[in-house]
Amino acid sequence: MLRDASKAPIVRPARVAEIDSLAVDETARRRGVGRCLVQAALSWARDASAERTELGVYEFNEQARLFWESMGFTTVFSRMTRNAYP
pLDDT digits (tens, 9 = 90+) for 27-62: 999 999 999 999 999 999 999 999 999 999 999 999
CATH of domain 2-7+14-70: 3.40.630.30
Q: Record the pTM.
A: 0.82
What is the pLDDT, as a whole number, of residue 7? 66
Average pLDDT over the chain, rounded to an integer? 91
Confidence of residue 79 (pLDDT cuts 50, 70, 90): confident
Yes or no: say if 57 and 34 are a contact pair by the CB < 8 Å rule. Answer: no
Distance CA 84, CA 86 (A): 7
Residues counted in the chain: 86
Distance CA 21, CA 57 (A): 9
User: In the chain, what are the domain boundaries?
Assistant: 2-7+14-70
Distance CA 84, CA 58 (A): 20
